[in-house]
């Protein structure tokens, strides 16, 4: 009896000792399951509802709907993020991550400068990255990031490189055509430099000023181009009024009109047609232009213009102004095409 009682007591003790262990194991298993569930939960990032902000860093958030093509939706969301970022920099961004600066100030009235500036490639928005992406249902989100400090440093280094190229160009060459080529190269590098300085301004950074050697080269290049002389030859003596309009347009562009050993001769012939309709005078003109250097034709242009006014003389004057403006552009195009 005593042995059986002792044995029962041992069984009870064993059962009691195992119960807390089993309970603990059950709790641990339950806790482990709960921990796994919380780990697998995807936390919605805050940036999809509020664009982040940080010193010297610009962010942009974009989104797109998935209509069956996941990759296309991702690409659209990324492009949307780039555009949102670019708006904060006040630039227009292209699909290849290049930017087109919005015209503000500093643009020249000279058509030659305008053409050279238009030939300078757009600035690449280097350093723009898509850092995060997130999908919520059928909506895809993308976060774009751009470090302004790195961009400013890189742009300043690029301007220093352009200054070295400008300083190395020789504008004291023996022939005028050689000097003109060097002068146009200086102006092109300066146009590229100006675009980069505009970009620095957009990044709210100070522009890089011209050093004295670069300033002197810029002035020398302007003098070389200003020294070019043009002679205007009209096909008819009756076109003296048109010649006056053309001469004024060219001198306004900083070009020199001369009959004494000119660098270029411009021959112009114009066919006029005047129409009066319902008390309105229309002046139509077709102009043929040849540019000669040392007696050899280097370029040929033709264009048509039309102007209207209540008075016939006023209509013709307006047409001549249009011809003059076109000619200034044609000469600038000829110079950059032939010598740049």
Last residue of a domain, one of 122, 147, 172: 147
Q: How is residue 196 written in tokens? A: 């980069």
Last residue of a domain, one of 189, 211, 226: 226
* Coil, helix or strand at residue 265: strand
- Range(s) of the domain holding residue 107: 47-147
**Listed residue (123, 254, 298, 112) closest to 188, CA to CA:** 112
Last residue of a domain, one of 204, 226, 248: 226
54 and 140 housed in the same domain? yes
Q: How many residues does the chain have?
A: 340
164 occurs within a structural domain:
yes
34 occurs within a structural domain:
no
Q: Find out whether 144 and 84 touch, Cβ atoms under 8 Å.
A: yes
pLDDT tens, the chain, 340 aa long: 545 544 454 454 544 455 555 554 454 444 455 544 455 666 899 999 999 989 889 999 999 999 989 999 999 999 999 999 988 887 766 666 666 654 443 333 478 888 998 888 888 777 889 999 999 999 999 999 999 999 999 999 999 999 999 999 999 999 989 999 999 999 999 999 999 998 898 888 999 999 999 999 999 999 999 898 999 999 988 888 899 999 998 888 888 999 999 999 999 999 999 999 988 999 999 999 999 998 899 999 999 999 999 999 999 999 999 999 999 889 999 999 999 8
Write the DSSP assignment of 274-316 as a string of letters.
Answer: EEEETTEEEEEEEEEEEEEETTEEEEEEEEEEEEEESSHHHHH
**CA distances, 207 to each of 153, 195, 198, 210, 239 (Å):** 12, 11, 8, 9, 48
Structural domain count of the chain: 3
**Listed residue (233, 235, 218, 266) closest to 113, CA to CA:** 218
């Amino acid at each position: 009896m005593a042995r059986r009682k002792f044995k029962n007591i041992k069984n009870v003790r064993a059962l009691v000792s195992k119960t807390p262990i089993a309970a603990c194991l059950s709790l641990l298993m339950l806790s482990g399951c709960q921990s796994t569930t919380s780990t697998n939960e995807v936390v919605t990032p805050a940036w999809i509802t509020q664009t982040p902000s940080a010193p010297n860093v610009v962010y942009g958030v974009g989104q797109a709907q998935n209509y069956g093509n996941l990759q296309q939706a991702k690409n659209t969301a990324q492009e949307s993020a780039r555009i949102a970022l670019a708006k904060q920099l006040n630039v227009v961004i292209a699909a290849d991550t290049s930017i087109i600066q919005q015209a503000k100030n500093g643009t020249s009235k000279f058509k030659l400068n305008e053409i050279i500036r238009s030939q300078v490639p757009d600035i690449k928005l280097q350093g723009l990255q898509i850092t995060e992406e997130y999908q919520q249902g059928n909506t895809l989100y993308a976060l774009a990031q751009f470090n302004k400090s790195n961009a400013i440093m890189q742009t300043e280094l690029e301007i220093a490189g352009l200054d070295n190229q400008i300083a190395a160009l020789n504008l004291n060459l023996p022939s005028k055509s050689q000097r003109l080529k060097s002068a146009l190269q200086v102006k092109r590098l300066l146009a590229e430099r100006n675009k980069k300085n505009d970009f620095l301004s957009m990044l709210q950074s100070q522009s890089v000023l011209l050093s004295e050697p670069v300033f002197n080269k810029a002035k020398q290049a302007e003098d070389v181009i200003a020294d070019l002389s043009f002679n205007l030859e009209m096909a008819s003596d009756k076109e003296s009024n048109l010649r006056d309009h053309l001469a004024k347009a060219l001198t306004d562009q900083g070009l020199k009109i001369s009959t004494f050993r000119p660098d270029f001769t411009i021959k112009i012939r114009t066919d006029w047609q005047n129409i009066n309709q319902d008390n309105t005078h229309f002046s139509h003109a077709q102009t043929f232009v040849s540019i000669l250097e040392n007696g050899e034709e280097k370029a040929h242009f033709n264009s048509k213009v039309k102007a209207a006014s209540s008075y016939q003389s006023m209509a013709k004057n307006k047409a001549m102004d249009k011809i003059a403006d076109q000619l200034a552009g044609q000469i600038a195009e000829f110079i950059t095409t032939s010598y740049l």
